Amino acid sequence: MSFLPQIIFVIILAVAGVILAKRIKYLKRNIFLGKAETRNDQPENRWKTMLLVAFGQQKMFKRFLPAFLHLLIYVGFVVINLEVLEFILDGLLGTHRVFAPLLGGLYTAAMNMFEFLAVAVLLACVVFLTRRNVAKVERFTKPEMKGWPTMDANLILVIEIILMMAILTMNATDQILADRGDEHYIKLGTLFFSNLLQPLFSGMSDSALVVLERGAWWFHIAGILAFAVYVTYSKHLHIFLAFPNTWYSNLKPKGEMVNMPEVTNEVNMMLGIPTEAPADAPTEIPRFGAKDINDLSWVNVMNAYSCTECGRCTSECPANLTGKKLSPRKIMMDVRDRAEEVGKSIDAGGPGLEDGKSLLGDYITKEELNACTSCNACVEACPVNIDPLSIILNMRRYVAMEESGTPPQWNAMFQNMETSFSPWKFSPQDRFNWAETVKDEEMK
């Protein structure tokens, strides 16, 4: 008996494992380019959020049709990949359908379920391709989706279709060979969907069927391993990152903005409120707000890598809907692109963050930041609890406090709030005069 197929399989498995390990290390390093932040409070609520939002896809179902189709792909991805365990054992042991003799009729039932899900995934992918490229759903045609983002989305859908066809082809040719009495193949009974394909292959010779069946088997396992590696370069990284991303969600009420500790301490000192001095004085003056990714928290950067590029945030953004330049999806894509640029520079022995570029200006403009109404619509819309507003607010703080670059109208408003405690320039004592005027007018 030749051990060559097993040796080839082990080599493929090892190569995929090494590449995947390097990519995970690279991504982890990039994410932790952001500042330290602790989010381990309320563990019960965090587990609940992760189970409902990431595992249960709770927020997806605000739009039923795409949510249902996505659920089919999600369930298919999880359940069908259980079969990969058998593929791996067969590849290592040189067996064929190692679980079939052990499970008997249950194995046939499981194969029928896998095939049903494979067909469901295939059809869902066809619908998604149609929505993107024929129906041209508006949120998929925004400027930030030109080029690679669109190609990436289409490519992953096509790969899924081919992988599902490989499963059905493998099962159809496998059962034809079993019916012809080939000792290597096991009769499984009726496999509904692959049986429909058998007439396409029934006229082929045994040797041709073996080549086709083995080719489909190798293509599927190699495709799954290649897919696992490709995902780390793709927006589909959310398949894995959605779980930690939702666990580390901001659990505070929507609209509650996090104050800057440095500013809070200064205000407390001015008001005579006791403050706790930091244990160790900072070696350098901290930057107010965020200019580059190292000024954001690591959770912000993980948010960027978790972005599905679905565009729900942008389609709900009132600024974008009224023609402003702001797109919350682009903000997240820009943060990820900047992290990738810095990470690649570091790996190449380059300047990294000191390359003369920054997130503000080279990726995200002040026009985009100023267009944000801070309404949290993007945060509410995101199916994996990404928080673009946190990034926008931190960058606006940098523009205001480090560059004094806010629009003149804003500066006037800030000054009025500081002196008059309202956006309008009149004395606080006169704040309710207008109400008295209205009351007098009503009584006349």
Using CA atoms in the order 24, 27, 29, 31, what is the torsion angle rounded to 10 degrees? -140
pLDDT given at position 410: 84
Rounded to whole angstroms, how far apart are CA atoms 317 and 378?
6
Dist. CA 112–CA 104, nearest whole Å: 13
| Chain segment 21-75, per-residue pLDDT in tens | 999 999 999 999 999 999 999 999 999 999 999 999 999 998 888 899 999 999 9
> What residues form DSSP beta bridges with 364?
360
Region of 2 please: left (phi>0), alpha (psi -120 to 50) or beta: beta
Radius of gyration of the chain (CA): 28
Alpha helix positions (H), 253-387 = 261-270, 298-306, 312-316, 318-321, 328-347, 359-362, 366-371, 377-381
Q: Note the pLDDT of residue 430.
A: 74
Q: Determine the Cα–Cα distance for residues 401 and 71; give it in Å rounded to an integer.
A: 45
Per-chain mean pLDDT for the chain: 90
> Can you give the pLDDT at residue 189?
86
Asked if residues 258 and 322 have their Cβ atoms less than 8 Å apart, the reply is no
C-alpha distances (whole Å) from 349 to each of 86, 343, 344, 353, 354 are 42, 10, 9, 12, 12
pLDDT of residue 210: 93
Element containing residue 158 per DSSP (H, E) = helix 148-179
Q: Could you tell me what percentage of the chain is helix, strand and coil, using 3-state DSSP and rounding each to the nearest 5?
A: 70, 0, 30
Query: In this structure, which topology does domain 284-406 adopt according to CATH?
Result: Fumarate Reductase Iron-sulfur Protein; Chain B, domain 2 (1.10.1060)
Give residue-wise pLDDT tens across range 126-144: 999 999 999 999 999 999 9
- pLDDT-flagged residues of the chain (< 70): 1-2, 276-285, 431, 444
Residue 444: its pLDDT value, please?
66
Sorted by sequence, the CB contacts under 8 Å of residue 80 that are 6+ apart come out as: 114, 117, 118, 121, 167
At 329 the pLDDT is: 97
CA angle 338, 343, 346 (to 5 degrees): 130
Residue 330 · residue 314 · CB < 8 Å? yes
How many residues in total does the chain contain? Answer: 444
Rounded to an integer, what distance in angstroms lies between the CA atom of residue 355 and that of residue 320? 31
